[in-house]
Structure 1
Amino acid sequence: MRLSQASDFALRILMATGQSGDPQTVDKLAVSLGLAKSHVMKIVAHLAKGGYLETTRGRGGGIRLARSPAAIRIGEVVRLMEPDLGVVACLKPDEATVCAFLPRCALKGAMARASEAFLESLNEQTLGSILAGTQKVTPV
């Protein structure tokens, strides 16, 4: 199963924000993680809308976790970033799939269960548990 680049970046942004006790900026995150500023802005906005980050403009503002790291489940973040995680086209909600085996295909159910098991496995980890075993990123 392959996650999108957006999921990868979202998890890295949450990890960097969770490691720092100070509010982060888009510029700081982009430089320290080696990501394009435009990507960071887009993903921070998506994570804020999903309730994982708080953003405050102006002096003294910045980007902070909206929840404690222990309350952020990795599978939930991936679910937010991957709304169409279906491993085959017939599981993707926006795909107009024409398949001779639908609607009575046992493969579709097996793939759906595998996808759900993957997310449940990720949900066993929280941002807090990940941060506890991760070396700190050196801010630039």
Structure 2
Amino acid sequence: MRLSLHADYALRTLMYLAVHDGHRSIGEIAGAYGISKNHLMKVAQRLVAEGFIEAVRGRTGGLRLAQAADQVNVGRVVRTMEETGSFVECFDPSTNTCVI
């Protein structure tokens, strides 16, 4: 399976936050992976909206995991961040014509 950049950056962000304690800035995460800060901002917004991370504003703010690292379900993250709907037709109850 091939992931979109959006899902890839989401997983990288979550891994970075899991390894580093406290609040981390988007610039710090982008610099660590050599990726676009602007694109990472969009990914972080979506992660916040979906409840995977928390964003704290202000001088001492940044991003942090919303739950313990061992509670993050990678499959749920990928399904949420990928915009393809169901990966297999059989898993979509509204359009399922799969004979299996």
1:76 aligns with 2:85: no
Q: Which of the two has higher C-alpha Rg?
A: 1
Query: What TM-score comes out, normalization by structure 1 length?
Result: 0.61
Q: Which residue of 2 aligns with 1:45?
A: 45
Q: Which residue of 2 aligns with 1:28?
A: 28
Deviation, structure 1 residue 76 = 0.6
SS of 1:64's partner is strand
Deviation, structure 1 residue 83 = 3.6
How many residue pairs are counted as aligned between the two chains? 97
Counterpart residue identity of residue 47, structure 2: L
Deviation, structure 1 residue 71 = 1.0
Q: Give the whole-Å Cα distance in 1 for the aligned partners of 2:55 and 2:97.
A: 47
Q: CA, structure 1 residues 103+66, in 2 after alignment: closer, same or farther (shift >3 Å)?
A: closer
SS of 1:58's partner is coil
Residue ranges of structure 2 left out of the alignment (5+ in a row) = none
Counterpart residue identity of residue 67, structure 2: R
Query: What TM-score comes out, normalization by structure 2 length?
Result: 0.84
Deviation, structure 1 residue 103 = 7.6
Q: Give the whole-Å Cα distance in 1 for the aligned partners of 2:17 and 2:36.
A: 16
Q: CA, structure 1 residues 59+85, in 2 after alignment: closer, same or farther (shift >3 Å)?
A: same
Residue ranges of structure 1 left out of the alignment (5+ in a row) = 94-101, 111-140
SS of 1:63's partner is strand
Q: Deviations over 1:91-125 (max 9, x none)?
A: 8x8xxxxxxxx98553xxx5xxxxxxxxxxxxxxx
Q: Which residue of 1 aligns with 2:14?
A: 14
Q: CA, structure 1 residues 77+103, in 2 after alignment: closer, same or farther (shift >3 Å)?
A: closer
Q: Give the whole-Å Cα distance in 2 for the aligned partners of 1:40 and 1:103.
A: 35
Q: Give the whole-Å Cα distance in 1 for the aligned partners of 2:4 and 2:29.
A: 19
SS of 1:80's partner is helix
